[in-house]
Amino acid sequence: GDLASLSNDDLQRFYTAANERYQAFKARGLKLDSTRGKPSADQLDLSNGLLAAVDEAEARGGGDLRNYGGGVNGLPQARELFAPMLGAPAAQVVVAENSSLALMHDSIVYALLKGVPGSKAGWSTEPVTFLCPAPGYDRHFAICAQYGIKMIAVPLTGTGPDMDVVEKLVAEDASIKGMWCVPKYANPTGDVYSDEVVERLAKMKTAAADFRIFWDNAYAVHHLTDKKHEIANILEACAAAGNADRAFVFASTSKITLAGAGLALFAASPANVAWMTKNMGFRSIGPDKINQLRHVKFLKDFAGLQALMEKHRALIVPKMNAVLDVLAQELNGRGVATWTNPDGGYFISFDVREGCAKRVVQLAEEAGVAMVPAGNTFPNGNDPKDTNIRIAPTFPALDGVKLAAEGIALATLVGVAENELKKRGQAA
Ligand code: PMP
């Protein structure tokens, strides 16, 4: 039963038994990895066809793609290909280099130095704050930390951020210039933003006239069930609400084709796209058009892209299920943790009893399961309840995934039992 309801003696016995299993697991000296959300080698193999998708004649074609030229906004065919995924006309799509994180980083730097359409000056002339739905993506928060942007964590509800909190904050505080959103299959919670949340984000009154939503739709097509969630179109919602310039939309093919050699994508209002491409033009003469053409030839069209995602799904689902099975088997009914069962994306968000996440991660690490530090999913690495842990099951092979989940489950039993003993003033 629930650890909290056990008698002191039963709790001691429970702790001893769990610890024996934990120590035996540790003694196996395994080296397992549950750190980053990386595609497995099998997943990368799905896109090997990309490597040779362009021949010499094609590379010479279209004005000689091997050379400079064509502008910073990318190959027209590539902008056409990704337009449906971004929910914008091709004319409002930019296809860039290999990392959407770099695009987000650069747009924040441009905004800090020069402002965005509607700014009176660069954002950095005054204090800047971003709203950070949390748990969220650590690298978003790291960009803010790097440039001295204050972060305010906002709770997630399963269907997006708590909009009562968001609306109140943005209406009152003109230093709030931005907000991170991962609107579909969010990293790590799996949140899918409801139509109501999208509508309220588009409509809300912001004290800052040049407020921007950083809409990082990194998992737009990364379904893991037949419930292929479609979310409301943020660009259309913002335009309809009279806030056409409010959203910057980002995505990439990092988890569609090759994580390190894919394409980064941006879409926004015409004014924002003009702003972005102007700034990009100082930074680079233009992107790698050969890689863009390779993607066009390999994926062909949006249907081709979706067909590829089905192959990813077939590889990821057994790993997700393996983790969910182990967690259910080991932890159900113990009152030690709760976790998500996402309809898409790359992660399981695992919440252990308050005050235990750091200890559980430490125990898992000591038993050979590499984890991201507890707290990483919150701004400044500070999970105020010390509860959230991100599980990333895609990268290892299936047996490694199962073992890692077992290690995490045993670490949880030991860590939380320890915590309960301590609470009762007993030694573990
Ligand atoms: N955004 C989110 C939400 C992510 O989880 C990741 C990591 N895959 C990225 C962006 C990074 O994407 P990219 O490889 O395009 O920089």
Distance CA 182, CA 220 (A): 9
Cα within 13 Å of Cα(366), Cβ side = 14
> pLDDT digit string (tens) for 33-76?
888 899 999 999 999 999 999 999 999 988 899 999 898 999 99
State the pairing for strand pair 348-352/388-391. Answer: antiparallel
Domain presence at residue 61: no
Structure tokens at 101: 């994180």
Does 99 contact ligand 1 (Cβ within 6 A)? yes
Question: CATH number for the domain including 81?
Answer: 3.40.640.10
Which atom of ligand 1 is the closest one to the Cα of 346? 5
For ligand 1, the distance from its centroid to the CA atom of residue 253, given in whole angstroms, is: 9
Does 256 contact ligand 1 (Cβ within 6 A)? no
393 plus 271 within the same structural domain: no
For ligand 1, the distance from its centroid to the CA atom of residue 37, given in whole angstroms, is: 9
Structure tokens at 16: 């001893």
Q: Is 182 helix (H, G, I), strand (E, B) or coil?
A: coil
Q: Whose CA is nearest to atom 1 of ligand 1?
A: 218
Does 40 contact ligand 1 (Cβ within 6 A)? no
For ligand 1, the distance from its centroid to the CA atom of residue 332, given in whole angstroms, is: 32
Is ipTM over 0.90?
Answer: yes
Give me the number of domains the chain comprises: 2
Q: Last residue of some domain: 271, 300, 329?
A: 300
pLDDT under 70: residue ranges of the chain: none
Question: CATH number for the domain including 13?
Answer: 3.90.1150.10
386 plus 263 within the same structural domain: no
Pocket test for ligand 1, best of 252, 253, 316, 390 (most atoms within 8 A of CB): 252
**Bond before 135 cis per omega within 30 degrees:** yes
Distance of CA 172 to CAs 122, 134, 178, 206, 289, Å? 21, 21, 14, 8, 44
Reduced DSSP (H G I as helix, E B as strand, rest coil) percent helix, strand, coil of the chain, to 5:
45, 15, 40
Pick from 265, 270, 289: nearest CA to 71: 289
Residue type, 412: T
Q: Last residue of some domain: 281, 300, 319?
A: 300
200 plus 288 within the same structural domain: yes
Q: Last residue of some domain: 269, 300, 331?
A: 300
Which atom of ligand 1 is the closest one to the Cα of 38? 8
For ligand 1, the distance from its centroid to the CA atom of residue 347, given in whole angstroms, is: 13
Does 216 contact ligand 1 (Cβ within 6 A)? yes
Q: In terms of residue numbers, what domain contains 345? A: 3-44+306-423
Q: Is 389 helix (H, G, I), strand (E, B) or coil?
A: strand
For ligand 1, the distance from its centroid to the CA atom of residue 216, given in whole angstroms, is: 8
Domain presence at residue 53: no
